[in-house]
Chain A
Amino acid sequence: MKLPNLQFLQVFVGKLSKKDRLIFYLTVFMVSLLILDRAIVSPVFSKIKSLNNQVRDKQAEIKKNLRLLAQKDRIITGSVKYSSFLGDARLSDDQQVTLVLKELESLASKSSVYLVDMKPAGVKTSGSSKIIMINLNCEAQMEQLVNFMYNLENSNSLISIEKYQLVPKTRESSVAKCSISVYKIVAL
């Protein structure tokens, strides 16, 4: 490899006054320092910092996990206790929707409520759970309707009423028309 000719640099520095030479050397020094910082120091220190953070996070995670493990028995007991409420997370969305529809129909017939229609309103996944939305329209006596709503809220399938609208079917009628939006939570 041919080395660059540095003679011109020597000539250039030689022509400078003492003060200018000092400024030139200081500039070269500062620029070298800057390059050193940008090329080596900063990347190395940021790598060390990132590794430090990773180690700290990992240690915090391990501490949290150890605390969790200390509560293992309590969690398993709770899990067994509430297992009846938890559906099968392995089923597909369609299968889950069908299951909910079936259950709604069963609860409606148990409460003598006439189901006009039921429509799936989508499936939303948020974090560690899935929400299956169903809109239904039904007709029944007010008492039966309330009974149906009670059965919905007390089912073992984590079904909840999100919104409802109650109106009399006709003027002076004792039959009420009801639109209900329900959702079921499935833990993943």
Chain B
Amino acid sequence: MFKIKMKKFKFFSRLAHQEMVGVNLSGNNLKISHLKISPNKKEVVNLLNLDITALNDIEIAKKIQVAIGALRGKAVEIIDLLPTHLVITKNIEVPSIEKKEIKEILNLQAGRHTPYSREEIIVDYVEIGTYKNSYTKVLLVIVARSVVKRHYEILERAGFRLKQALLASEGMALAVFKTLRLENESAPVNILHVDENFTDFSVVFKNRVIFIRSIPIGASQLKQEKEVYQLKFIDELKRSLEAYLGGDIEISPNMLILTGAEDGLKEIETLLNSTMHLPIKTLSYSGMFNISELARGAMFKSRQISFFDVIAPLLNCPELKIDLVPEEARVRRSLEERGKDLIKTGIFILSIFIIVFFILASKIYFHGVQLNRLERKYSTVNREAKELEKDLVKIGLVKNYLTNRGYSLEILTQLHGLVSADIELSEIRYDLDKFSIKGSADAMSSVFSFVDRLEKSEYFKEVKTRYTTKRKDGLRDLTDFEIITLTERPKDR
């Protein structure tokens, strides 16, 4: 549910080097290519052409095992490259422009274009373009499920698992398109790929293959029975072009590019120049790729065979639109990828946890270390400072004592100065900030004037007369009193 899309991290995996093997099982030949792809180099390591005439599937599997057995167990992607003569292609119009709807319509209609039932075929398509705002022209590609299944079984028997099943001619068309930089071409380009027994006729426009047709005449026939097959070949070529134009797919091609088996390519070019009303350009695929000496040796040995169809699709793999993998294999692959993604997500989350844990643990550790280091480094300073602090406190105590001493006597002195002659004190009580005086006076007015004087003094505040009582002492009238007050230290003391 909370799975992270690991595909976003593919960038890192692309930095590593990748090995790919392309397998083309067509008729009497088994063609194998081995490519090494790294971020800055794409190299064709080896090429093989094996004769499988009259061999059954078990024997073919054994041949494959012998040929590429050394790659077993390595992280190699095995890709099935289907030749054009094994597929059925149709250019049709679909009354929708919604991708999902187009797919559904094609799934329903595909059966009508083949003698097989829907369950017996695998269908894919290339969108060519939208017309009349509601129609989409597509190149429908159909292959019998049994063909792909057979390839799967042969390779599984050889110990390999197929990753993809691609249409070889789509890969070749894209390779030519890229090599000749045809992006800016305003008209389609016709590509003719000549192999030993077959020729692929394809039309490519704006980075998309829009028409494919297989011609059952190859370099071998054109060499051995020149007179018969040259005419047939030109005839097939014209019929293919007519089929393309008749399908109202795009405008007429403005160029024909001839490529494929090196042997006899010049002769075909001469033949085409004399019969076709199109500019012809011959393109040698050996100059298009970085091919090792070993692979060049294999090419030289089999000059009647073209390895273009086992090299080009592998190098353009991510851009190819047609994938003819059976649905069950696709589901299995998707499940496997999901499983892998889940594991990767788990590892990713765990790694984040571990990193966070290490960051926090290191933070705690380094704080502890810092604390210990501070303790150790300044232990002498702290010890000495503690002693000094004690001394400082003692000095403070003494200074405070010296500042405040004699205050109780100052109060007494102040009182002595304020008492008049007609007042007789009988008790003086001092208790920190509280002060009380008891005594007798000749007249009550003397008591009040004493209180006034006390109030005016800066040593006393909140002076209150607790009582004044008159009494006779012999012939004298006396007033007993008690005054309470709070003491205050003068500010300038």
Contact = CB atoms under 8 A, between A and B. Distances in A.
Interface of A: 25, 29, 44, 47-48, 51-52, 54-55, 58-59, 61-62, 64-66, 68-69, 71-72, 75-76, 78-79, 82, 85-86, 127-129, 146, 149-150, 153-154, 158, 160-168, 185, 187-188
Contact of B406 (A47, A59, A72, A153): A153
18 contacts: A48-B360, A51-B371, A55-B370, A58-B374, A59-B374, A66-B381, A68-B389, A69-B388, A75-B388, A75-B392, A76-B391, A78-B391, A79-B394, A128-B390, A163-B429, A163-B431, A166-B429, A185-B401
Q: Name, among B378, B384, B390, B391, the residue most crowded by chain A CB atoms within 10 Å (CB to CB).
A: B391
Contacts of B371: 51, 54-55, 58
Nearest to A65: B385
Given A29-B2, A128-B394, 15 more contacts: A48-B367, A51-B367, A51-B368, A58-B375, A62-B378, A62-B382, A64-B385, A65-B381, A68-B385, A68-B388, A86-B394, A149-B412, A153-B409, A163-B430, A165-B430
Contacts of B388: 68-69, 71-72, 75
Contacts of B251: none
Contact of A85 (B375, B392, B398): B398
A124 to B, nearest CB: 14
Interface in B413-434: 426-432
Contacts of A51: 364, 367-368, 371
Interface of B: 1-2, 360, 363-364, 367-368, 370-371, 374-375, 378, 381-382, 384-385, 388-395, 397-399, 401-402, 404-406, 408-409, 412, 426-432
Contact of A160 (B364, B367, B392, B405): B405
B428 A150 contact: no
A62 B374 contact: yes
Nearest to B434: A163
A45 B426 CA distance: 71
Contact of A166 (B395, B427, B431): B427
Given A55-B374, A154-B406, A164-B430, A61 B382 contact: yes
B426 A168 contact: yes
Nearest to A66: B381
Contacts of A55: 367, 370-371, 374
B387 to A, nearest CB: 9
Nearest to B424: A168
A48 B429 CA distance: 60
